[in-house]
Amino acid sequence: MFDTICKFLAETFSADFATWLLGESIDLTELSPSELSLEPIRADALILRQSEQIVLHLEFQTEPKSDVPFRMADYRLRVYRRFPHKRMRQVVVYLQQTNSELVWQTRFTLENTCHGFGVIRLWEQPVEVFLRSPGLLPFAVLSQTTDRPQVLQQVAEAITDLADPRVQSNIAASTAVLAGLVLEKALIRRLLRRELMQESVIYQDIKDEGRTEGRTEGRTEGRTEGRIEAQHEIAVKLLEEGIDLDTIARVTGLTIEQIQQLQERAAQDL
């Protein structure tokens, strides 16, 4: 769930991420891994965005993984093969504080080959960085602070000031999910709008239940069925709160047609 939210934010608010990670507000469009002529490597949240001059490769990690350096080097070569004249900025963003040495790795080394990439450990970043742009607000509570409830209160106030109701809802829901990494659900419910909290908390609950069922059954089809059922339940909850179909599709992975079918069934049950 966390990787889905991060990917949604990076794709929806790409200008905010460009300002943060590239130091300039530029339009970034999607770069599909299929355009690099190879199958994508599995990553928690792989984001590839590009402009005419630069490619941004961004990955979010809730837990450090040993294969990250290789993945960075591999994608750099893939992009160079396809766009030899474009610059590339690669950043791994670690969401949750850890003592693992893996979060300090910034190089891939193999004999005479050495490739460097950027690493951001959110718990070391100033809170102010994430309060400047709507798309970065959900990360503020994970940044460097000794008072996370106070930071979440600041974020809640900033969300209230957003003019677009749709942006307001999306940012609030994303904040609720990411805040679950470091804060109790009861506190998150109290500080954020209740109707949006319901989606985020239910989503996490369903995800946890699906994982438990998958482990108990020990079968791929059981995990698949649980995942589909969870996606449907989440979509219905989001529909009840008036979230737009495109956003629901991005968050759940369902198609617009599938969501519309769920919407029709819900209407018939009323």
Query: What is the pLDDT, as a whole number, of residue 35?
Result: 73
Residue 126, judged by CB atoms within 10 A of its CB (0-12, 13-18, 19+), counts as exposed
Secondary structure class of 161 (helix, strand, coil): coil
For residue 44, pLDDT over 80 is answered with no
**Do 64 and 159 belong to one domain?**
no
Where is the domain boundary, 124, 155, 185?
124
- Please list, in sequence order, all residues whose beta carbon lies within 8 angstroms of the beta carbon of residue 196, skipping any fewer than 6 positions away: 169, 172, 173, 176, 241
Is pLDDT larger for residue 9 or for residue 46?
A: 9
* Angle (nearest 5°) at CA 105 between 102 and 107: 145
d(Cα 8, Cα 238) in Å, to the nearest integer?
15
Query: What is the pLDDT, as a whole number, of residue 3?
Result: 77
**Do 101 and 182 belong to one domain?**
no
**Do 101 and 148 belong to one domain?**
no
d(Cα 79, Cα 86) in Å, to the nearest integer?
8
**Do 131 and 204 belong to one domain?**
yes
The structural domain count of the chain equals: 2
**Do 41 and 151 belong to one domain?**
no
| Range 223-241 average pLDDT | 75
- Please list, in sequence order, all residues whose beta carbon lies within 8 angstroms of the beta carbon of residue 28, skipping any fewer than 6 positions away: 14, 15, 17, 18, 49, 50, 51, 56
Query: What is the pLDDT, as a whole number, of residue 202?
Result: 34
For residue 215, pLDDT over 70 is answered with no
**Do 180 and 116 belong to one domain?**
no
* Domain membership flag for residue 99: yes
Is pLDDT larger for residue 242 or for residue 70?
A: 70
Lowest mean pLDDT among 97-101, 125-129, 225-229, 246-250: 225-229
Is pLDDT larger for residue 30 or for residue 147?
A: 147
For residue 117, pLDDT over 90 is answered with yes
**Do 120 and 138 belong to one domain?**
no
Query: What is the pLDDT, as a whole number, of residue 209?
Result: 46
Q: Which amino acid is at 8?
A: F
Where is the domain boundary, 69, 94, 124?
124
Tell me what the pLDDT averaged over the chain comes to: 83
**Do 118 and 198 belong to one domain?**
no
| Range 84-108 average pLDDT | 95
| Range 233-238 average pLDDT | 82
**Do 94 and 140 belong to one domain?**
no
The residue segments making up the domain with residue 176 are 127-259
- Whole-model pTM: value is 0.71
Query: What is the pLDDT, as a whole number, of residue 270?
Result: 59
